[in-house]
Amino acid sequence: MKILRTPDAQFADIAEYPFEPHYTEVDSGEGETLRIHHIDEGDRHAPIVLCLHGQPSWSYLYRKMVPLLVASGLRVVAPDLPGYGKSDKPAAREDYSYQRQVDWMGRWLKANDFADMTFFGQDWGGLIGLRLVVDHPDRFARVVVGNTGLPLNTSLDQQIVDKVMAFREDGRRLGFREMALALSRLRGIGNEPDAFPMGFAHWQKFCWNTADMPAGFMMEMMINAPATWKVAPRVLLNQYLGTALRPITPLGRAYEAPFPDASYKMGPRAMPSQVPTLPTDPSLEAQKKAWEFFLQFNKPFLCLFTEDDPVTRGAEKSFIGRVPGTAGLPHQMLPRGGHFLQEFCHRELSAAISELISST
């Protein structure tokens, strides 16, 4: 396994991220050592909140929540998944799978011996973190999820499966504009489970077929979009000449910082295709076992979602009323915040997590 490590200089000029780095070395599963980065802020004897990010972000996503949670008397631990942030980056597509991320982070968890934790996860952070709860239940006291899910689709019509697979593999280059239009039409995995796999396949295909996947530009667009006149020329040049989409704001550059060049981006490129939207996905059995676990899960389980996220809208319905631990808790559907709700709803999220810990 070839493993890349982002030079520290890439992170030198990032604002609002004053946190001391911590590193843990784990077995890659193939004999190499994989270095995983995390931040660890707050009183070492305080209750721990474990915050997991998704794709294509990193622990920078939690920079606004960390001081709020610490101020409320909590300890915040936020790692970078392998392939992201300051963590090492396996360089080949086959290095990445849903199970491998769960295994890597499980080894990281055991090496640090974290316990009595409250988990919070969004996007892939939820998919991976919920499986960590299944594998290490004694280490978790509570679960909070936001704009994420635990996908399991066992009854999708075979014609839809065939259509999605043919689209993924037809060799046609998918441009940014076409991908963005397809995502804008999504109504959420929880609201249209049969239509979602085809719509989401545009994101899967775009990420994999774009060697220099524009992580910073995408985060810039989804969080704090620059004026149209600044964006449109770059999109057109990308569409017709294949030029790279580079971020132009400090926020976008911060999300691009972990990737000095395209060779470092295999994680963000490969992981979308690992989202189990089809009944043929390799993680199907592990997802079934995870759901068997959560249908018996009695510890507090809080859902904090946004109404305007086209990807996970409706996913909260798969948890609330089905997971026993959701009963009687103040679940929230925040009116705005987009997919990366940590950026706009950091106060609401931090307050809800703090209240859950103090009241349970």
**List of domains in the chain:** 3-152+284-359 (3.40.50.1820), 158-274 (no CATH)
| 22-42 pLDDT tens trace | 999 999 999 999 999 999 999
Q: Which phi and psi angles does 21 have, rounded to 5°? A: -80, 145
Average pLDDT estimate for 191-198: 89
189/195 Cα distance (integer angstroms): 8
Marked catalytic residue, from 80, 95, 103, 309:
309
Average pLDDT estimate for 191-218: 92
Residue 232 has pLDDT above 70, yes or no: no
Residue 227 has pLDDT above 50, yes or no: yes
339 catalytic residue (yes or no): yes
Give percent of the chain above pLDDT 90.
83
Can you state the angle between helices 124-135 and 284-294, rounded to 10 degrees? 70
- In the structure, what pLDDT confidence band is assigned to residue 173 with cuts at 50, 70 and 90? confident
13 catalytic residue (yes or no): no
322/325 Cα distance (integer angstroms): 9
Marked catalytic residue, from 95, 123, 135, 281:
123
pTM over 0.75: yes
| Predicted local confidence at residue 11, as pLDDT | 97
SS3 305: strand
248 versus 144: the higher-pLDDT residue is 144
Residue 82 has pLDDT above 80, yes or no: yes
Residue 305 has pLDDT above 70, yes or no: yes
Marked catalytic residue, from 37, 53, 339, 346:
339
Give percent of the chain above pLDDT 70.
95
- In the structure, what pLDDT confidence band is assigned to residue 131 with cuts at 50, 70 and 90? very high
Residue 324: how many CB atoms within 10 A of its CB? 13
157 catalytic residue (yes or no): no
- In the structure, what pLDDT confidence band is assigned to residue 245 with cuts at 50, 70 and 90? confident
Largest CA distance in the chain: 56
Contacts 24+ apart (CB under 8 A), 240-245: 244/212, 244/214, 245/176, 245/214, 245/217
What's the residue count for the chain? 360
Average pLDDT estimate for 155-169: 93
Runs of H (alpha helix) within the chain: 65-71, 98-112, 124-135, 158-169, 176-184, 196-209, 215-224, 228-241, 250-256, 266-270, 284-294, 341-344, 346-359
Q: Are 164 and 201 in contact (CB under 8 A)?
A: yes
| Predicted local confidence at residue 229, as pLDDT | 47
Average pLDDT estimate for 289-295: 98
Terminal Cα distance for the chain, rounded: 44
Mean model confidence pLDDT for the chain: 94
31/177 Cα distance (integer angstroms): 41
